[in-house]
Amino acid sequence: MGSQDCAILMSQFMMLTGEIGVPIANEKTAGPTTRLTFLGFEIDTMDMTVRIPEAKVNALLDLVENFLAVAAVQDVGTRGAEFSRPDSKEICQHDLQLQINILLEASLSRNSKSSYETGLRSFNSFRQAFRYQLLWPPPLFHIVEFIAYLSCNGYTYSTARAYIASISFHSKIQNCPDVTKTFLVGKLLEGMRRIKNCRDTRLPITLPLLTRIVQVLPVICFDTYEFKLFRAAYVLAFFGFLRVGEFSLSVGNDIQSILQVSDVKFAPDMSRLYVRINSSKSDQHRRGVTLTIDRVESILCPVRCLHDYLIVRCKTGGPLFVHAGGKALTRYQFSSVLEKSLNALGVHGRFKAHSFRIGAATAAFEAGCSPDAIMQAGRWKSKVYKAYIRCPPLGKY
């Protein structure tokens, strides 16, 4: 098997991991190549040698030169000592570069960072497969052919747009011309959008369907605790217009970033509950927002369902939704129980975890709520809320 065959296989593998959401450490991925850095040493299979990489040698030499320069300045005397603090450490250029990297990484959310890494990895894998040099900024024809490659392999418009955005970001960070903003690239993406016709086909969880799901949960869940856990999670997801990543663990978040039990408060008369969302997809600066959810006279009452769950929940802090053993609810579990419930009801279709948020927007629209009210409830900052409104055939669910 030649280098080109290996490159094509690796490109396909990288594309697959990006599509199914498997995280790959971009900084630890290389090849196919005859020269590889491993454990700090450069292994060359052509020369049959192992050596310290040239970049590392140069960095060490720079550190030594900086150290000698500082020592020489300190030997001059005490003149100018009033401009430095006795307890401050000497900062070299390497420290500054390290801090620049830290600040840049902190400027991105975890999801954005993962998306950009996947996009760049896929782009570079494509270039290796076609034996293009990994030039930066990339030539326009590299990007044009990359879009065509994605289209030929069945990738969606949204995936292609995200991958091109990663190239754009990397270009700007390196202060290079951003060739992704050219007329040709824009037209290719627009053509891909029209050909693929990427209409969101996820179906809404309507109020009648949510009622049936709650009624079948005792059959699906193996004990009363699990029933109350999933009932509260489903009802709150609907009435709070919540994104599933805001209250359950998934690849793009962690325990500290999801809804905590301390984020939920009840009104003294139990007429409503208050849910504090500290950060979300549309609130990367963690300004936070408090949702007010009123009591309703129904088995789907979010106030009663959440209160019943909290009575049996362990009296400790941490994530709001946890199993009896204390482990946080995951997105996979949330979706798996939903799928089992729908199968038990004989309801088929493209229902996903996001269907609760879609259903909430649809229900609000059908109830005659104003656009501003729907945008506020779902924390949308633009007319994008319209994409969440579905009109299923009457009585279908």
Q: What is the DSSP string of 78-138?
A: STTGGGS-TTPPP--HHHHHHHHHHHHHHTS-HHHHHHHHHHHHHHHHHHHHTT----SSP
Instruction: Encode pLDDT of 71-94 as tens digits.
Output: 554 454 444 444 445 455 678 888
Residue 53 pLDDT: 72
| Cis amide leading into 137 (omega within 30) | yes
pLDDT at res. 270 = 94
Residue 273, classed as helix, strand or coil, is strand
Handedness of CA 368, 373, 376, 377 (dihedral sign): negative
Neighbours of 43 (CB within 10 A): 16
CA distance 265 to 275: 7
Q: What is the pLDDT of residue 347?
A: 93
What pLDDT does 33 receive? 73
Instruction: Give DSSP secondary structure letters for 38-68.
Output: ETTEEEETTTTEEE--HHHHHHHHHHHHHHH
Tell me the residue ranges of DSSP E strands in the chain. Answer: 35-38, 41-44, 49-51, 264-266, 272-277, 289-294
> How far is the C-alpha of 68 from the C-alpha of 353, rounded, in Å?
60
Q: CA 231, 234, 237, 238 torsion: positive or negative? A: negative
At residue 294, what are phi and psi to the nearest 5 degrees? -80, 155
* 121, burial (CB in 10 Å: exposed 0-12, middle 13-18, buried 19+): buried
Instruction: Please give the Cα distance from 146 to 129 (Å, whole number).
Output: 11
Question: Buried b / exposed e across 130-149, counting CB within 10 Å, b at 16+?
Answer: eebeeeebbeeebbeebbeb
Q: How far apart are CA 277 and CA 290, in angstroms?
A: 6
Distance CA 55, CA 3 (A): 25
Separation CA 375–CA 386 (nearest Å): 9
Q: What pLDDT sits at residue 397?
A: 56
Quote the pLDDT of residue 393.
42
Query: Residue ranges of the chain with pLDDT lower than 70?
Result: 1-5, 7, 18, 21, 25-28, 30-31, 38-40, 46-47, 62-89, 196-199, 252, 282-285, 391-397
Q: Which pLDDT score, from 0 to 100, does residue 77 have? A: 46
Q: What is the pLDDT of residue 152?
A: 84
Cα distance between residue 109 and residue 345, in whole Å: 39
**Where does residue 346 fall: left (phi above 0), alpha (psi -120 to 50 degrees), or beta otherwise?**
left
pLDDT at 247: 93
Distances (CA, A) of 1 to 4, 7, 245: 8, 10, 43
Q: Domains of the chain by range and CATH? A: 3-32+97-196 (1.10.150.130), 207-388 (1.10.443.10)
Report pLDDT for 373: 92
Q: Given this model, what pLDDT does residue 79 score?
A: 47
Nearest-angstrom CA–CA distance, 354 and 273: 22
d(CA 110, CA 279): 12
Owner of token pair 């030169």? 65
Residues 6+ apart with CB under 8 A from 205: 213, 234, 238, 351, 355, 356, 358, 359
